[in-house]
Amino acid sequence: ARTLITVETPYGPVRIKVATLPNGETKSAPEYEDCRARAKAHRVPIRVVYAAAQMAAQQQGKS
C-alpha cells in the first residue's frame, strides 16, 4: 500500500511517498516535482532539497 505524507523542510513542504512492503517494511521517497520546485525557488541543487525531505521523513518515523 502507498500513502502520501507532507513534511516540512527548510525549503518548504515536500510530499513523501510511503510504501508498505508485504513483509511490513516501509520505504519512502520524496516527490521529485516538489523537490524540483523548492530547489528552483531557493536556488539550491535538487539533491539538497531531496536530502532535507528524506531527513524530515526519517524524523517523523516514515523512512
The per-residue DSSP string of 1-63 comes to -EEEEEEEETTEEEEEEEEE-TTS-EEEEE-HHHHHHHHHHHT--HHHHHHHHHHHHHHTT--
CA terminus-to-terminus distance, the chain: 15
| Residue 61 reports pLDDT greater than 90 | no
Q: What percent of the chain has pLDDT over 70?
A: 97
Domain count, the chain: 1
* Cα(37)–Cα(58) distance, integer angstroms: 21
Domain that holds residue 27: 2-59
Q: What is the pTM assigned to this prediction? A: 0.87
Q: Are 3 and 11 in contact (CB under 8 A)?
A: no
pLDDT of the residue at 62:
52
